[in-house]
A = this chain, B = another copy of it.
């Protein structure tokens, strides 16, 4: 597709770039509405910001004024823009109705004008979504402002992460997870996913077998696949992963991935006896355990058990993350490994990636050392505890049809459905009513009936959660035989 090189351009009046595809056949108004909506909902166009006039924007984008005027009209109807007569068009302060539609997921431009779209769910009860990072005391914003005024380093930093950050993480782990390690045992990464990828790259060879919980996190299965490894699914009961099944395998997997604090997705906690069995298995076979401690800050019925890594520093590789405490969009985590492993992993990371972004490291360090992170954990723990109470109470009308599991911790739970109830149908009905939930079958290794629903409640306010839960309960109740 030939496009002439753009000539020198006048300074655009809109603070965010809008790229319009004039050849794909998709209406310009729809494209412009989508681009402006995304900019408003993501905060790139902040509340109160004045937009250019329809005439100016039309000139800037080289479209007709009817296009820009229609786009503004539609977004005013959605409540995202507001016009003040004689004064122009502004980004509205988002009310609940507008926020309910959420951030529109990226929709690829169709080749022909789009048909009327299916109603988009109003509530997404997704896992992996947290509460807003900006809140009352605003430790987040303060920490970023401190980073903004600190002279950034002008050279490559060490791949394992800033020494002070690793020291602060070691201190944090000793105090909160009973895991005593040195700063040099730690490698700062972009999160659990990258930590797992580096571990697999460093320790395993194509054809090796990796044990993983079933049901379990789809990311682990995908990683196993892209690495050319074999997956050994290990079932989960209400005491955690079935270590007896793992130990009964003819050939021991080289590595076993577990989520012992709050099994993902079922939410059960691995009991102490099970933990000891697992460690003994690893020692006997000189296999590795990867302890994925993704949401251990959030337990509502008492303190968490000490980490597995605290039981055995030699065979356990511990993965921590800031994704739940702060936001999954930050991309910051760390791993703790024994012996020479951190150095090997850091050397590999240096070759294939480099260190984590310095501003991100500096800000997280700031939040750790000023206590802002700890304050956020306490505040959000209260918030999520209230949310899960809202959810549990909302489920009472269908207590005969639904058994929730995993509500004692974390930001999600699983609703196990009574026999005869088809979870896939319930999920579809819920989507029609405006609530998005994931079927439990999506988290299993093989095909299976959908006997449960996975419900993330971290991203909604208590009021929205109550409304979403009521709609979900309605979808479930309709299947009462």
Contact = CB atoms under 8 A, between A and B. Distances in A.
Interface of A: 3, 5-6, 9, 11, 15-19, 21, 35, 38-39, 42-44, 46, 103, 106, 126, 128-134, 140-142, 144-145, 147-158, 162-164, 167-168, 170-171, 174-175, 178, 180, 182-183, 190-191, 193-194, 197, 201, 219, 222-223, 226, 327-332, 348, 351-360, 362-363, 365, 368-371, 458-459
Contact of A331 (B103, B170, B354): B354
A34 to B, nearest CB: 9
22 contacts: A11-B371, A16-B365, A17-B369, A42-B153, A42-B164, A43-B151, A128-B156, A130-B155, A134-B151, A140-B148, A141-B148, A144-B147, A152-B330, A153-B327, A154-B458, A156-B328, A226-B351, A329-B355, A329-B357, A330-B357, A331-B356, A359-B360
B329 A156 contact: yes
A140 B152 contact: yes
Given A145-B145, A330-B357, 5 more contacts: A21-B182, A128-B155, A133-B151, A155-B327, A359-B360
B152 A5 contact: no
A187 to B, nearest CB: 14
A154 B174 contact: no
Copies per complex of this chain = 2
Contacts of A354: 190-191, 193-194, 331
Contacts of A328: 154-156
| Shortest 8 CB-CB contacts between residues of A and residues of B | A144-B148, A329-B358, A19-B167, A43-B150, A197-B352, A331-B357, A129-B155, A222-B351
A129 B157 CA distance: 11
Nearest to A4: B180
A360 to B, nearest CB: 5
Contacts of A190: 190, 353-354, 357
Contacts of A5: 174, 178, 180
B126 A155 contact: yes
Contacts of A11: 371
Nearest to A200: B352
A329 B16 contact: no
A423 to B, nearest CB: 23
Nearest to A227: B352
A201 B145 CA distance: 37
A11 B17 CA distance: 46
Contacts of A17: 164, 167-168, 171, 368-369
Contacts of A353: 190-191, 193-194, 197, 353
A421 B44 CA distance: 57
